[in-house]
Amino acid sequence: MCGIVAYIGNKEAYPILIKGLQRLEYRGYDSAGVALLNGDITVYKKQGKVQDLLDFSQDLPKEGTIGIGHTRWATHGVPNDVNAHPHSSGNSRLTLVHNGIIENYSPLKTALEKEGHTFSTDTDTEVLVHLIEEIQDRHKLSLEEAVRIALTRVVGAYAIVVIDREDKNKLVAARKGSPLVIGVGEGEFFMASDATPIIEHTKKVVYLNDEEIAVVTRDGDLEVKTIANEVQSPFIQELDMKIEMLEKGGYDYFMLKEIHEQPKTISDAMRGRLNATNCWIKLGGLDEMAERIMAAQRFIIAACGTSWHSGLIAEYLFEDLARIPVEVEYASEFRYRNPIITPEDVVIAISQSGETADTLAALELAKDKGALLYGIVNSVGSSIARITDAGSYIHAGPEIGVASTKAFTGQVTLLTMLALSIAHKKGTITDTYFRQLVIELANIPSKVSQVLESDEQIKYIAGEIKDRTNALYLGRGYNFPVALEGALKLKEISYIHAEGYPAAEMKHGPIALIDEEMPVIVIATNKSAYEKIVSNIQEVKARKGFVIAVVTEGDVEISKIADHTIEIPDTEEPLTPLLSVIPLQLLSYHIAVMRGCNVDQPRNLAKSVTVE
């Protein structure tokens, strides 16, 4: 939610900021702005995409070797030019960009108004920059000291960068709850919400911790202290990311590229961790905490969105294979429910970005109650990766399309390995079955490639249903969460209303919606419930529903009754989601493209949800 970027050095800041904002646009894209310090501070901001800002500022002066930028996902105040960041203090001396929410902005605003401050925007951020100004002015403080004191009065989440017209050699940044990375170059510094704007300039980075303030200067100084004024030694680390990972690589959209990357990303999730020849699985994170994990009374999985769907699949995996009771929780509900958590519980957080505010807060709560925290995360160095006691990265590489695809299959791959490894250690599955599943898991990447070959057929089917206004997705067992994920993909990017349902539950409500206008996508690959799902398809057909069935290769029965069948290769039932989700991703993609939607940046959404 919102991306921020900043630069100080000897180069022109504007192109660096713009490129950085384009990389961060997945975090929000309703308005964008930059501020450049060059004698005075020049602010350009515009409703719309970074491209709109670029067009607007095309013929305007853009000099300055220090600057800050922002791409917004609105929380307080509608998306328009005025509410776009950066925001300036009343005396125009300070300018600031902010990602997060200042929860107590209202009492702060009232108090500042009493001191004579007037506000020109509806944002919480403008209150913060006025507060810093008030403290700086009143006590004649340096920028960093004024920022530090102001932040002791703020409730909420923030990553901020501030510039001061009277101090032309400095950027001051701080974070709490929202991410901030500092790139350390030769005589220059970069700051951004994640490493993607930094990677083409330097691989050396510092991940700022919560409640830390950083001051970087043109002379090459980097100082970090806490908001409580304790000096910290910044830990500089090397990024393991390549610039090609951030490009579309010939595809029309990042989402399509990411769908097609899945044979590789699933392999990457398994690399060095699974050996099919000698039949072993080894997860460093699990080994570190093996004793507590093996003794756990239950697993609680906390996640949001697509990651929550991975969690539902994990529930089937852990219960079915490892015989561990599992609860899967929407992190946002869990954290406010006064949940019962004990030190015997293992709380598993699943998150692509590693920054989702609700998931992070659920972990903090579980930590206070003494549970062991395990993270399944994609984004290296992210907040969730850092707060957990142990964990496993899925190694899918940067996921840029807002709708999650390769992160989902990476998470499911990782969770499958985790369940198998625990099951094997606990002896809840036989050696033979373990061997069978390990060998088959190693075959999944090539089977995903096979599914991707159905792209043209899926595109054709997309054309058949692209103008419908509703869709129903049905699945049973391991494929029920896949039905939810298929429906989510469709609504996220094509704006068609879609619902996922357990196939048998259809009779308790959704069946009333079925007529010839309703496409019903049925994932019908389960061997264990095959006859039952065939009956469910019959029920839909009897009501004239338009059935698209995802079936196992060679299926003859369903192709006789369904309007379309999409075949996927045969596999072990617990591994089916890794294959059955692929046609659903492609179907949503093609429908969205045919409807003229912006696939990578769907309206109102953002990829990294750092607000509650």
Q: Render 368-380 in DSSP notation, one character per residue.
A: HTT-EEEEEESST
Calpha distance 213→185 (Å, rounded): 19
605 belongs to the binding site for ligand G6P (CB under 6 A): yes
Residue 279 bears catalytic tag:
no
Asked whether the beta carbons of 524 and 533 are under 8 A apart, the reply is yes
Query: In whole angstroms, how close is the CB of 220 to ligand G6P at the nearest point?
Result: 34
Alpha carbon dihedral 412, 414, 417, 423, in 10-degree steps, equals: -80
Residue type, 138: R
Smallest separation (angstroms) from ligand G6P to the CB of 602? 8
Examine residue 598 and tell whether it contacts ligand G6P (CB under 6 A).
no
Query: Which of residues 121, 359, 416, 479 is near ligand G6P by CB under 6 A?
Result: 359
DSSP strand pairing (94-102 vs 87-88): antiparallel
> What 3-state DSSP class applies to 391?
strand
Among 31, 121, 353, 601, binds ligand G6P (CB under 6 A): 353
The binder of ligand G6P chosen from 348, 402, 522, 547 (CB under 6 A) = 402
Q: Which stretch binds ligand G6P (CB under 6 A): 96-104, 346-354, 436-444, 576-584?
A: 346-354
Q: How far apart are the C-alpha atoms of 512 and 518, rounded to whole Å? A: 11
Q: How far is the CB of 110 from ligand G6P (least distance, A)?
A: 33
- Whether 378 and 352 have beta carbons less than 8 Å apart is answered as yes
99 contributes a contact to ligand G6P by CB under 6 A: no
CB of 242 to ligand G6P, least distance (A): 21
Q: Is 305 in the site for ligand G6P (CB under 6 A)?
A: yes
Q: Which stretch binds ligand G6P (CB under 6 A): 123-131, 353-361, 368-376, 558-566?
A: 353-361
| Least distance (Å) between residue 608 CB and ligand G6P | 6
Which residues lie closer than 8 Å to 145 by C-beta, 6 or more apart? none
Q: How many residues are given for the chain?
A: 612
Shorter beta-carbon distance to ligand G6P: residue 24 or 549: 24
* Of residues 545, 582, 586, the one with CA closest to residue 563: 545
- Cβ at position 307, least distance to ligand G6P in Å: 4
| 3-state class (DSSP) for residue 421 | helix
User: Is there binding between residue 351 and ligand G6P (CB under 6 A)?
Assistant: yes
Question: Which member of 121, 332, 352, 610 binds ligand G6P (CB under 6 A)?
Answer: 352
Asked if 160 and 96 count as a contact pair (C-beta separation under 8 A), the reply is: yes
CA–chain centroid gap for 287, Å, is 27
Q: For the CB of residue 69, give the shortest distance to ligand G6P in the complex, in Å.
A: 22
Chain position whose Cβ is nearest to ligand G6P: 305
State yes or no: residue 306 binds ligand G6P (CB under 6 A).
yes
For residue 88, the cross-strand partners are 95
275 to 304, contacts with ligand G6P by CB under 6 A?
304
Supply φ then ψ for residue 467, to 5 degrees: -100, 5
What are phi and psi for residue 481, nearest 5 degrees? -60, -30
178 contacts ligand G6P (rule: CB under 6 A): no
Q: Segment near ligand G6P (CB under 6 A), from 97-105, 109-117, 121-129, 350-358?
A: 350-358
Q: Which is nearer to ligand G6P, 353 or 479 (CB)?
A: 353
Catalytic residue among 170, 406, 447, 607: 607
> How far is it between the farthest Cα atoms of the chain?
80
The reply to whether 597 belongs to the active site is no
Q: In what order do the strands lie in the sheet with 181-184?
A: 40-47, 31-38, 66-72, 3-8, 189-192, 181-184, 204-207, 237-238
Residue closer to ligand G6P (CB basis): 124 or 194: 194
Interface with ligand G6P (CB under 6 A): 304-307, 351-353, 356, 359, 402-404, 605, 607, 609
Give the residue numbers marked as catalytic.
2, 607
